Structure 1
Amino acid sequence: MKGKYLLIMISLYGIAFYTSTSIHSHQQQTVVVEDAGKLLPTKMKEVKSSHSTKELQKWVKQEKTISIAGMQHSQGGHTVYPYGTLLDMKRYNEILNFNPIEKTITVQSGVTWADIQKKINPYGLSIQVMQSQNIFTVGGALSVNVHGRDIRYGSLIDTVNSFRLLKPDGEIISVSREENSEYFSYVIGGYGLFGVILDVTLHLAEDELYQHRISTMDYQEYEEHFKEKVKNDEHVKMHLARLSVAPKTFLKEMYVTDYVLAENQRKLSRYSKLNEKETVVLPKFMLGMSRYSERGKDVFWETQKKHFQNSNGRYQSRNNVMRSDSTFMEYENANRTEVLQEYFVPVDQFASYIDDLRKVLEKEDLNLLNITIRYVEHDEDAVLSYAKDDMFALVLLINQGRSEKEIKKTEKVIQKMIDVTLDHDGSYYLPYYSYPTEKQLKRAYPRIDEFFEKKRELDPKERFKNLFYEVYSQ
């Protein structure tokens, strides 16, 4: 495909110029920027950052091509475009209003979930929906319409009251389901293509005390467990599962953590202090072993399983459940990187889907390190909704090489996995590397053409661009 070849050319071009993450020429300031995937280093005109709304507004009016970034954990070039200007929003990070009575908070888009937790935790309040780590910016989370461990709220779009948007022409508008509503379902999950999200008003939840309930099971038991003991039990508030990638139990054994509302909520005060950092030295070491050894994968799975089984009955506040330490996933290697894929499959098709996925992976050479499973309710508020049904979301961590040969090798396997997912009425998440074909994109997101048409209508000069848009919108 034209887009695919363009993506490879851009990547190779960026790599050729890449000597550090900050390169400056004598004639004109330039900088090479890369996202968390480290497969698309891209030479950009400059990076700009400000805490001033007026300055952001001025830049949007002046610059020809703009990309927007928070923590840059999207992995498919969603925050970069060759020779464009990058708006780094991390300094735009004030908490503007907090109403503990109404359970709402208004924050600028560079505020992180950790910032919000520190503000609201003393008031016994919590975030409704966020990623499994709290390091990410709110603006970035809205742009990819995240979901998390909570099984009662759906995806992030469900928790948004309103936001202000800096449009491509420099105008600032308020957006909600009632005001300028045509923007609402495009901007949330819109990957920064419609303008700059300035600030957001979110609905909050009560902080609660949960007790861990750990179960080990065969993958064929999981659907029934979830339906009967999780979804139909109103006391279960959050849920997380892991599926084995170890050779001895590959895609067969699972362990599940249900976060059950504790009977005595008066104990919450004993557990409500925010944990600053988890102890991750041993898990990081074991994960490191599993990267390079099949035996290491077996040992890691057994160690991981025992660790979680030992936490059965443990008490934890909702806010602390949402503070997983992201340093566990940090990985530095000159020749390799770790990428994510996320596939959504209807709850009723889980077991048959895993059987078909296993048939593919047993024949392929893919260094699969981890599969985490969450649940997300059917949601079609966002134009690019990934939850066409009540879905299990499988997050796959893959270790791969950075060379063109290794990229093509991984692409081949991932396209096969996506075909299996689509054949089971599933979809895949868009914030990751552009391995899927255009045909697969249209199967997973039947409104994608409408999305791109609306983008060009609302941004006729295509001021906001990124590599994701470049690859798929042609």
Structure 2
Amino acid sequence: MKIKTMPSKLIIGFLIVTMLYSSLLFYSFTQKDLKDELLIHDVSRLFPEKIMKIVEGKEQESIEEAVRNARENNLKISIAGTRHSQGGHAFYKDSLWIDMSHYNKIVDFNEQEKTITVQSGVTWADIQEYINPYNLSVKVMQSSNIFSIGGSLSSNVHGRDPNFGPLIETVQSFRLLKESGTVLNVSRTENEELFPLVIGGFGLFGVILDVTLELTTNDLYIAETVKVDYHDYPAYFVEHIRNNPDVGLHFARLSVPTNLLLEELYMTTYKKVGSDVSKSLTEEQIAELLPLHDEKNVRRDKFVFGLSRHYDWGKALVWKIQQKFYAMGKEEEIISRNNAMRPPIQFLDYYSPKDTDILQEYFIPVDNFSQFVDELREIVIEDKLNLLNVTVRYTPANDEAYLSYTNHDTFALVLYFNQGFTEEEVKKMEQATQKMVDAALTLDGKYYLVYQLFPTDNQIRQAYPEIDSFFEMKNKYDPNERFMNNFYERYAKR
């Protein structure tokens, strides 16, 4: 029998492409350095800003001193954690910049009440490490654990548990350092007007010092992945996922290769392990499931995903691999909630002098999901956008935060793009973003304020009609505009 082999020219060509891409990838890692430490970037590196001074807030006293110094010298203050917001929320020109990443201690923990109090520089990974031995887990966090709690609170993030809305639902209280130097306790019953303003307020009202969060049980889940037509996804979700007490986590992905652009969807659901299954597990098996797992195969995954930035066949390869490991994955694979909430993220780290990755997010009412997907496809094709990934998460209605993005039950579409640094590339993405925002607004949706400042003044006011009253409240609590960032500078009518 004659065995078919790949033509030698094709093999050589593939090896050359692989070697060239590997060289580019290696070169990109050497470009991480930002020689001017006062030139501050967010993770996208698109809009750097020169600040005046960096203060590392390691103790409360040093943060208070920084605020006092700014007040006495009439300086603006900007605040940052891990700098993953991409709309200039974490810096401002010539400001005194407080780096909260070193303010990262666990303040209090109550196993019985299932609460934890942490300083705002603590990351979700820090919390997971601390509470995992007690078989507890967080209720709401992003799909990665690398972000700071203060930054997450300031952005009012949401997660992948369909039983919870945005982070504000799980916050009991926090302490806020005001411009005057006063420290306030803020909750739903104490200084309550500030509670919905600061959560999702992007650091414009003061410095969040520490936060008390509600926790939940670190349940064991069985992960199941199902392929479904994206037109049928909303109905399927409403019937099988929403309000299902057995569901712990849920998300979906849409295809991005050109020949399948936003045509295929598979969804992954983590269901609680039933008593019959849990009883069948031995102590040794449970002991293997509960420890936290670190991310594996980072270099391999980074290389493979990197191919999708530059080649459509790379996108097709990534999608095929995702289907193999998820859509055709093992049945009855058991995982703890904490480990399910520690998905791979390091492989997405990308530093290139030529281009960068950005995120955007659109909240679309459940019934309008498929129509938005169709309109999004047209925009991606028309504007020739380099779309790398689309993740879908459910966000139940919650309007507690002043700048709420979940006034309806919505699907959040998280879009991951690659774009160049040139003025032309930035302008192209700005114009495309405005088209996507219009598409969302037409369908009674919204966009997430955490990302680029591309939407127009009219668009932000249509999406968030309370934005001007929000800015008025900022002036009420911070009349000297001590706490500043580029988001406020861009959209506030002053």
Asked if residue 408 in structure 1 is aligned to residue 427 in structure 2, the reply is yes
Per the TM alignment, residue 278 of structure 1 is displaced from its structure 2 partner at its CA by 2.9
Q: Cα 1:40–1:52, aligned 2, differ >3 Å: closer, same or farther? A: same
Per the TM alignment, residue 223 of structure 1 is displaced from its structure 2 partner at its CA by 1.0
Structure 2 letter corresponding to 1:48? V
Partner of 1:120: 131
Q: In structure 2, what is the Cα distance between the partners aligned to 1:398 and 1:413?
A: 12
Aligned with residue 386 of structure 1, among 387, 405, 410: 405
**Contact 1:37/1:433 (8 A) holds in 2:** no
Q: In structure 1, what is the Cα distance between the partners aligned to 2:408 and 2:236?
A: 19
**Contact 2:380/2:387 (8 A) holds in 1:** no
SS of 1:220's equivalent in the other structure is coil
Q: In structure 2, what is the Cα distance between the partners aligned to 1:85 and 1:444?
A: 31
Q: In structure 1, what is the Cα distance between the partners aligned to 2:371 and 2:386?
A: 23
Partner of 1:330: 349
Per the TM alignment, residue 298 of structure 1 is displaced from its structure 2 partner at its CA by 1.6
Per the TM alignment, residue 19 of structure 1 is displaced from its structure 2 partner at its CA by 11
Partner of 1:98: 109
**Contact 1:37/1:76 (8 A) holds in 2:** no
**Contact 2:102/2:121 (8 A) holds in 1:** yes
Asked if residue 250 in structure 1 is aligned to residue 269 in structure 2, the reply is no
Partner of 1:41: 48
Q: In structure 2, what is the Cα distance between the partners aligned to 1:359 and 1:199?
A: 44
SS of 2:101's equivalent in the other structure is coil
Map of 1:166-315 to 2, 5 A cutoff? 166-263=177-274, 264-265=277-278, 267=281, 268-308=286-326, 309-315=328-334
C-alpha offsets along residues 119-154 of structure 1, whole Å, 9 cap, x if unaligned?
111111000100111111110100000111111121
Q: In structure 1, what is the Cα distance between the partners aligned to 2:64 and 2:330?
A: 49
Structure 1 letter corresponding to 2:224? R
Instruction: Report the TM-score, using the length of structure 2 for normalisation.
Output: 0.89
C-alpha offsets along residues 358-392 of structure 1, whole Å, 9 cap, x if unaligned?
22222221001100011111010001111110010
Aligned with residue 143 of structure 2, among 113, 123, 132: 132
Q: In structure 1, what is the Cα distance between the partners aligned to 2:126 and 2:211?
A: 14
Partner of 2:63: 56
Q: In structure 2, what is the Cα distance between the partners aligned to 1:217 and 1:168?
A: 52
Instruction: Report the TM-score, using the length of structure 1 for normalisation.
Output: 0.93
SS of 2:382's equivalent in the other structure is coil
Partner of 1:13: none
Structure 2 letter corresponding to 1:23? D
Structure 1 letter corresponding to 2:253? R
Structure 2 letter corresponding to 1:254? L
Q: In structure 1, what is the Cα distance between the partners aligned to 2:333 and 2:367?
A: 30
Aligned with residue 34 of structure 2, among 21, 24, 28: 21
Map of 1:410-429 to 2, 5 A cutoff? 410-429=429-448
SS of 1:385's equivalent in the other structure is coil
Asked if residue 163 in structure 1 is aligned to residue 181 in structure 2, the reply is no
Q: In structure 2, what is the Cα distance between the partners aligned to 1:186 and 1:336?
A: 35
Per the TM alignment, residue 20 of structure 1 is displaced from its structure 2 partner at its CA by 5.7
Structure 1 letter corresponding to 2:126? D
Structure 2 residues not aligned, in runs of 5+: 1-30
Q: Cα 1:312–1:278, aligned 2, differ >3 Å: closer, same or farther? A: farther
Asked if residue 68 in structure 1 is aligned to residue 79 in structure 2, the reply is yes
Asked if residue 86 in structure 1 is aligned to residue 86 in structure 2, the reply is no
**Contact 1:69/1:140 (8 A) holds in 2:** yes
**Contact 1:22/1:33 (8 A) holds in 2:** no
SS of 1:58's equivalent in the other structure is helix
Q: In structure 1, what is the Cα distance between the partners aligned to 2:193 and 2:115?
A: 23
Q: Cα 1:265–1:142, aligned 2, differ >3 Å: closer, same or farther? A: farther
Q: In structure 2, what is the Cα distance between the partners aligned to 1:371 and 1:424?
A: 19
Asked if residue 341 in structure 1 is aligned to residue 354 in structure 2, the reply is no
Partner of 1:398: 417
Q: Cα 1:355–1:223, aligned 2, differ >3 Å: closer, same or farther? A: same
Per the TM alignment, residue 22 of structure 1 is displaced from its structure 2 partner at its CA by 4.6
Partner of 2:470: 451
User: What is the CA RMSD across the aligned residues, in angstroms?
Assistant: 1.5
**Contact 1:271/1:316 (8 A) holds in 2:** yes
Q: In structure 2, what is the Cα distance between the partners aligned to 1:233 and 1:158?
A: 19
Q: In structure 2, what is the Cα distance between the partners aligned to 1:321 and 1:205?
A: 14
Partner of 1:32: 39
Structure 2 letter corresponding to 1:81? Y
Q: Cα 1:23–1:292, aligned 2, differ >3 Å: closer, same or farther? A: closer
Structure 2 letter corresponding to 1:457? K
Structure 2 letter corresponding to 1:278? K
Per the TM alignment, residue 166 of structure 1 is displaced from its structure 2 partner at its CA by 0.2
Q: In structure 1, what is the Cα distance between the partners aligned to 2:33 and 2:302?
A: 26
Per the TM alignment, residue 233 of structure 1 is displaced from its structure 2 partner at its CA by 2.6
Structure 2 letter corresponding to 1:36? V
Q: Cα 1:103–1:19, aligned 2, differ >3 Å: closer, same or farther? A: closer
Q: In structure 2, what is the Cα distance between the partners aligned to 1:232 and 1:155?
A: 16
**Contact 1:66/1:85 (8 A) holds in 2:** yes
Per the TM alignment, residue 232 of structure 1 is displaced from its structure 2 partner at its CA by 4.2
Q: In structure 1, what is the Cα distance between the partners aligned to 2:114 and 2:404?
A: 26
Asked if residue 350 in structure 1 is aligned to residue 369 in structure 2, the reply is yes
Structure 1 letter corresponding to 2:290? S
Structure 1 letter corresponding to 2:444? D
Q: In structure 1, what is the Cα distance between the partners aligned to 2:397 and 2:203?
A: 24
Aligned with residue 154 of structure 1, among 127, 148, 165: 165
Q: In structure 1, what is the Cα distance between the partners aligned to 2:186 and 2:330?
A: 43
